[in-house]
Amino acid sequence: MRKHCPGAGTGGKAHQVTSGREPSGQGVVFDTSRPHMARVYDFWLGGKDNYAADRAVAEQVAAAYPDVRAAVRAQREFLARAVHFFVTEAGIRQFLDIGTGLPSANNTHQVAQRAAPQSRVVYVDNDPIVLAHARALLAGSPEGATAYIDADLRATGAILERAADVLDFGQPVAVMLLGILQGIPDQDEPGAIIARLMDAVPPGSYLALSQIAGDVATEEVAGGVQRYNEQVAIPVAARTHAEVTQFFAGLDLVEPGVVQVHRWRQATENADRGRDLAIYAGVGRKP
C-alpha cells in the first residue's frame, strides 16, 4: 500500500524543509507494505506512526531480543541527556541531528531550546515518512531556528551545504548520529563519513553517537538483527565496543567514554547497572 501525505510544508525564514525528492515539500509518497527503520523504532517507543508491517517485524525482533524496547527507550533518553550536556555544560548552541526519526517526546530542538531558546537545530533524515512529519520538528522557539533536510547521511557535501543556511560553521556544532550508523555498512566507510562531518566543524564542536552493540547479549541481538534484515530494504549491522570507539578517532571522549546507552551520565540509581542493554553510546569533543 502506498500512502500520500500532504503534511510536509515549509515554514518561515528559519523554519524550512529542503528535500531533493520533493522540492516543494508537498505530496510525499511512502510504501507502508515494507517495514521501515523510523516506523519500527516509533512502534518500540510507543508511537502511532507505524503500520502492520512495521509492527510485525518489531514484534519478531522483540521475541529474539526482549530488551529491545528498553534499549531504544534508553537511546531516546540518551538523546535528551546528551543535548542537555551540550547546552548546559559545553556551551553549544548549534545542532546537526542526522537520523532524526519521527517526532517523539523531547526532540533535539525542544531539549536544547528549553535550556537555551536561541539554539539552532538542523534535522536530516532520508525516510519519506519522517519528511512527511517534518512540520512537527519545525515549531521551535522564536529566538532560535529549526530546519529539516531530506538527505542521506552519505551525502555529507549536500548536507553541509544546505545546513549552512541555518548553522554558522565558524562556531561549534554538535553533530548527532543516534541510531543511524548501524544502517551504514562497513563498505560505505562510516568512519570516513564521520570524519568528513567533523572536518567541517571548528574545534570545540562535539560528536554524539549511538549504535547497536554486537558484543552485548550477543546471540539474542544477532537473532533480532537477522529477523529484521530478512524483511527490510536497508539491513542493519551490530558493532563491537572497539568498533564504536573507533568512530571517535581524533576526538577527545567525554567521560564516561563509550558505554551502554543507559550508563552515559545517568544518575547511578537510574542506570540499572545490573542490566545490560545492547546499544553503545558516547560523546567526543573536537580538540
Contacting positions for ligand SAM (CB under 6 A):
37-38, 41, 75-76, 79, 99-101, 125-127, 130, 152-153, 178-180, 183
Q: How far is the CB of 281 from ligand SAM (least distance, A)?
A: 9
d(Cα 20, Cα 157) in Å, to the nearest integer?
13
Closest by CA position to 128, among listed 260, 3, 15, 245 = 3
Using the minimum distance from each CB to ligand SAM, give the nearer residue, 233 or 268.
Answer: 233
Give least dist CB 128 to ligand SAM, A.
9
- Return all residues near 279 (Cβ < 8 A) that are at least 6 apart: 71, 72, 74, 75, 179, 210, 211, 212, 213, 260, 261
> 257 is written with which cell numbers?
567514554
Cβ proximity to ligand SAM: between 51 and 142 the closer is: 51
Evaluated on CA atoms 188, 186, 182, 280, the torsion sign reads: negative
Q: Judged by CB, which is closer to ligand SAM: 111, or 178?
A: 178
C-beta of 179 vs 224, nearer to ligand SAM: 179
Residue nearest to ligand SAM (CB): 101
Question: Could you count the other beta carbons within 10 Å of the beta carbon of residue 9?
Answer: 12
Report in angstroms how near the CB of residue 203 gets to ligand SAM at its nearest.
Answer: 25
Q: How far is the CB of 187 from ligand SAM (least distance, A)?
A: 14
Task: Tell me the closest approach of the beta carbon of residue 47 to ligand SAM, in angstroms.
Answer: 11
Least separation, in Å, of the C-beta of 45 and ligand SAM?
8
208/287 with CB nearer ligand SAM: 208
CA within 13 Å, CB half, 101: 24
Q: Nearest Cα to 188, choosing from 225, 153, 239?
A: 153
- Min. distance of Cβ 156 from ligand SAM in angstroms? 10
Task: Pick the closer one to ligand SAM by CB: 83 or 167.
Answer: 83
Q: Produce one character per residue of 20-48: b if its CB has 16 or more CB atoms within 10 Å, e if not.
A: eebeebeebebebeebbbbbbbbbbbebe
